[in-house]
Amino acid sequence: MDFSLTPELEEFQHHLHSWVDKKLPKEAARKWEAQEHEYPHELWDLMTEQGLHAVGLPEEYGGSGSDVFSQVLIGRELSRTLGGLVWIWGLSSFCARSIAESGSAEVKSKLLPKLAGGEIKIAIAVTEPSGGTDLLGSMRTTASKVDGGWKIRGQKIWSTAAHASDYLLLLAKTDPNSEKPSRGTTLFLVPNPSAGLEIRQIPKLGMRSVGSCEVFLDDVFVPDEMIIGGVNEGWGCILTSLNNERIIVSSLCLGVLDGVLEDAIDYMKTRTAFGRPIGEFQALQHYVADMAMWQRQSELAIYHAAWLQQSGKNVGTAATMAKVIASEYATKAADLGIQILGGMGYAQETDMQRYWRDVRLYRIGPITNEMARNVIAESYGLGRSF
């Protein structure tokens, strides 16, 4: 089994690596992140100029094709310098894929070219305050049929970049009497702004300028044509994109690990103590060796999952494994990176603390690693534990 990149993908990665160093350096990432609660529109525009929003979308709608490995390489190279700021690209990629796979011909022709061209932004609004991972069991947001559309009432939380987005990809309960909760939900595209829609940002540890939001809906009207998929089929539409999302998230973690290792090695070559470079100290060399092994293990797990999805094979378990492996190794690596830099690793003028703050979230979302382990164990024939 060969997961090596094709010559075309190698060239694409090399070009992207150079472009990131030139246009999205770590100093710029620190500047964008320092603008707390201010969405980095300049970063979005740079991604648009490079055509990154078109990757993963069908060519007939202005995309550049749905190659999974290209998405992985973009996530990896961007997060190497951007850390959690990369999620403004990842979020758009995930939502656009859901529309491309489940949207009506009218919605696709209306929105996908604009998404590919970076003209509009879409945020996902699925999680609820009372549930977290128990999404379906705790869902309280409802949509009621009215003339020409639906009225939505409820609350969502941890909706990334909702405040800066033109639409919310929102899941609501439309059949409270369905036998299974998963069969009674519908996926809507909610225009922002809308009457009755209120969005508030949540102060948080990392990914500060991207923005994570609470969303309040008080009889927000959504027309019938803005349903993604069919009525009461929303959960199935979301599931078609979840595996792709986990692969993308794992690539973002791998990119952080790349950045951590890059900075650690540079620092160890230039910092001196006791009359020699600290890179000659065995304990620190062991840290680098560990990070290098975590990097390779994560890469293999991610490329395997991407290969499965690209081949049309069952990718659920592999995508979940890749997400757990990469997020835990990247968090451990960022923590060791702080240790290697010592006091400077704790200073905001370096990037180790930023990497740690940002990547720590990926052990929690989009699925907690504890729940991910349940899913993996269940795939080996064990009884459901939740």
Dist CA 282 CA 299 (whole Å): 26
Active site residue 262: no
- Of the candidates 77, 128, 245, 299, the residue annotated as catalytic is 245
Token pair listed for 196: 């009755």
Contact (CB, 8 A) for 323 and 246: yes
Which residues are tagged catalytic? Answer: 245
